[in-house]
Amino acid sequence: MPRGRLGFTLIETLVTVAVMATLIGILLPALSGVREAGRSVICESALRGIAYDFVMFADPQIGGPRGDDPQKYGRNHFSLETFIESQYGLDEFWQHGSDSLVTRPRSSSDPLRCPDVRGELKMRRNVPCHEGALTPSASVSFGFNSRLLYAEVTLPNGQPRIREAQLSVAVLSEPSVPLVMDIDGQIAASRGLDPSFCAPSLDSLGPYADDHYWFPSHRHNGNCHAALIDGSVHTKRDLIAQTSWAWDYQPIH
């Protein structure tokens, strides 16, 4: 009687390996795409949460503490920087006792981190955001619309300058104003800038000229996420090309 086959022949084994390698080659890019899509969704969710918190913060009837802003600007006004510090727990919102330097845990649930941004983010005690409370800049995921804090005005002599601006609940009536977006903190660091504040130059001939303060990140397959005041989150290759967005809005009168 002929003996039964006890296993694969060498040719069958090689064919099986080749088929498996082909399948892996097909599946790996798909799996990578799924992971990237998942990270992108998490990033969008983080921006949506920030925009929601901003709406709460802007309304004095329902918002929480505004740090020292009531003493500085009155009960009805606040600084964008104070909102950012409340989000991170910086300066007057510090929650880490006497520790002078704290590493913010890396977590997919961190509402202020894009999963595609690697590296530890350290927070410094008793330091406002614009003085380097967050380091290193390359680990900062999101930047806020700088014109909501640093408005560019023109003096009577025609010279442009920056003037600090305060916000009120009235800003919620400007739904198309960009609030926060993906940024490239490494570019901000190379220019000696605070990564938390970002804005395009538009037609500026002053401090915002030449896109000096403009460093969005297109880390999501060439796209950048941005949230508007109305809480909507958008994924675009060119944020400036969105003509319905009020990039030129400044809270000054």
Q: How many CB atoms are closer than 10 A to CB 201?
A: 18
CA distance 172 to 160: 27
What pLDDT is stored for residue 118 in this prediction?
83
Q: Which residue has the tokens 């198309």?
A: 176
Structure tokens at 13: 């084994």
Asked whether residue 102 is domain-assigned, the answer is: yes
CA distance 37 to 223: 12
pLDDT for residue 197 is more than 70? yes
Contact present, 69 and 103 (Cβ < 8 Å): no
pLDDT surpasses 80 at 134: yes
Q: What is the mean pLDDT of residues 199-227?
A: 95
Residues 6+ apart with CB under 8 A from 88: 104, 112, 123, 129, 133, 134
Q: How many structural domains comprise the chain?
A: 1
Beta bridge partners of residue 198, listed in sequence order: 145
CA-nearest of 72, 52, 92, 94 to 228 is 52
Domain of residue 167, residue span: 10-236
Q: Report the candidate in 87, 89, 92, 104 with the shortest Cα–Cα distance to residue 52.
A: 87
Residue 2 pLDDT: 54
State the pLDDT at residue 9. 74
Question: Residue type at 90?
Answer: L
245, part of any domain: no
pTM of this prediction? 0.84
| Region 98-124 average pLDDT | 85
Instruction: Tally Cβ neighbours within 10 Å of residue 81.
Output: 24
37 within a domain of the structure (yes/no): yes
Of 10-19, 49-58, 207-216, minimum mean pLDDT range:
10-19
pLDDT value, residue 194:
95
Q: Residue written as tokens 């084994």?
A: 13
Query: What is the DSSP annotation of 82-120?
Result: HHHHHHHT-GGG--STT-SEEEEPP-TT-TT--TT--S-
**Average pLDDT score over the chain:** 88
Q: Is the peptide bond before 178 cis (omega within 30 degrees of 0)?
A: no
Evaluate whether residue 206 is within a structural domain. yes
Residue 111 included in any domain: yes
What confidence category does residue 63 fall into, taking pLDDT thresholds of 50, 70 and 90?
confident
Q: What is the pLDDT of residue 12?
A: 67
User: Tens digit of pLDDT for each residue in 162-191?
Assistant: 999 999 999 999 999 999 999 999 999 999
Higher pLDDT, 30 or 188: 188
Residue 43, classified by CB atoms within 10 Å of its CB into exposed (0-12), middle (13-18) or buried (19+), is buried
Q: What percent of the chain has pLDDT over 90?
A: 68
How sure is the predictor about 3, in pLDDT bands with cuts at 50, 70 and 90? low
Question: Does 1 fall in a domain?
Answer: no
Q: How far apart are CA 45 and CA 49, in angstroms?
A: 6
Report percent pLDDT > 70 for the chain: 87
